[in-house]
Amino acid sequence: SAVISQKPSRDICQRGTSLTIQCQVDSQVTMMFWYRQQPGQSLTLIATANQGSEATYESGFVIDKFPISRPNLTFSTLTVSNMSPEDSSIYLCSVALGGGTGEAFFGQGTRLTVV
Amino acid sequence: QQQVKQSPQSLIVQKGGISIINCAYENTAFDYFPWYQQFPGKGPALLIAIRPDVSEKKEGRFTISFNKSAKQFSLHIMDSQPGDSATYFCAASMGRTGANNLFFGTGTRLTVIP
């Protein structure tokens, strides 16, 4: 299994500012994922972050808005840039362990409110 | 377009009863179907998962039933307990790594009444 720590757990931010969310994993993993969960909604994949390469973004998400860093095999950050109230969501970090088991582990999430 | 459709949106069950949540998908390339349980303020946690080469998988009180021809799968929680009260998400993905790009259902909020 994997233990994932996300920081901050919640934040209230002003419109137009940026917030960087950190994700730390207790083991080395190849693939890390960032999801968005809007209030009462399902989870939507924002991007996949592999160490040593550019993140791959899903349709509807762009690097200028959600820049991602992946400096090593245990850490990643997601920045939500130039925030608007529509960015108010829970942002979740996830990792997939190797071996093709298919299991994904999630952090506890970062609850972001933009005012 | 919702790749995985989930119902019901909410479910109330008496303690000891059976909770049933249903999901349907269209993409026949999906080959990994996990269920996640999420408590308030927590991230989703894998509950049980199935691949399409079997029709049923049971782990304790939790069972996945899978109907490949109908492209449907369901979660059954036997002897439901108040501690099972949570939001449940079905999901699907394709490829050997499984967890790459999970498509989630819309979630079912389960409440088990003592």
User: By the CB < 8 Å criterion, does A102 face chain B?
Assistant: yes
B101 touches chain A (CB under 8 A): yes
Q: Does B45 touch chain A (CB under 8 A)?
A: yes
Instruction: Tell me what pLDDT residue B97 has.
Output: 52
Taking an 8 Å cut-off on Cβ atoms, the answer to whether B107 and A107 are in contact is no
Please say whether the beta carbons of A98 and A30 come within 8 A. yes
Q: Nearest CA of chain B to the CA of A22: how many Å? A: 15
Q: Does pLDDT of A8 surpass 70?
A: yes
Specify the pairing of strand B10-14 against strand B108-113.
parallel
Q: How far apart are alpha carbons A106 and B26 in whole angstroms?
A: 26
Cis omega before residue A71 (within 30°)? no
Task: Please give the radius of gyration of chain A, using alpha carbons only, rounded to the nearest integer.
Answer: 13
Q: Count Cβ–Cβ pairs < 8 Å, chain A vs chain B.
A: 67
Tokens for B114, please give them. Answer: 């003592």
pLDDT in tens, A46-68: 999 988 888 999 999 999 999 99
Out of B32, B44, B45, closest to residue A102 by CB: B32
Of B32, B89, B97, the CB nearest to A43: B89
CB B57 within 8 A of CB B76: no
B3 interaction partners in chain A (CB closer than 8 Å): none
Strands A110-114 and A10-13: parallel
Q: Domain residues of chain B, as ranges?
A: 4-113
The per-residue pLDDT for B18 is: 98
Q: How far is CA B84 from the centre of its chain?
A: 13
Q: What is the pLDDT along chain B (114 residues), one digit of tens a residue?
A: 678 999 999 999 999 999 999 999 999 988 889 999 999 989 999 999 998 899 999 999 999 999 999 999 999 999 999 999 999 999 998 765 545 678 899 999 999 999
Q: Please work out, in degrees rounded to the nearest 5, the angle formed at the alpha carbon of residue B83 by the alpha carbons of B43 and A106.
A: 10
pLDDT given for residue A102 in this prediction: 61
Residue B99: which of A43, A96, A107 has the nearest Cβ?
A: A96
Residue at token pair 């693939």:
A31
Look at residue B94 in the predicted model and tell me its pLDDT. Answer: 79
3-class secondary-structure state, position B83: helix
Q: What is the pLDDT of residues A14-46, one digit of tens each?
A: 999 999 999 999 999 888 999 999 887 889 999
Q: Do A45 and B99 touch (CB under 8 A)?
A: no
pLDDT at residue A77, as a whole number: 97
Give tens-digit pLDDT for A69-94.
999 999 999 999 999 999 999 999 99
Cβ distance B54 to B33 under 8 Å? no
Element holding B7 (H helix, E strand): strand B4-7
| B69 CB within 8 Å of a chain A CB | no
Quick check: B65 and B82 in contact, CB under 8 A?
Answer: no
- CA nearest to A43 within chain B: B104
Closest Cα in chain A to B37: A106
Across A8-109, where does the E strand assignment appear?
10-13, 19-25, 31-37, 43-50, 56-57, 68-72, 75-80, 89-96, 104-106
Apex B11 CA angle, B24 and B87, nearest 5: 75
Structural domains present in chain A? 4-114 (2.60.40.10)
Looking at domain B4-113, what is its CATH homologous superfamily?
A: Immunoglobulins (2.60.40.10)
**Which chain B positions have a beta carbon within 8 Å of A24's beta carbon?**
none
Please tell me the predicted confidence (pLDDT) of residue B102: 84
A94-103 average pLDDT score: 70
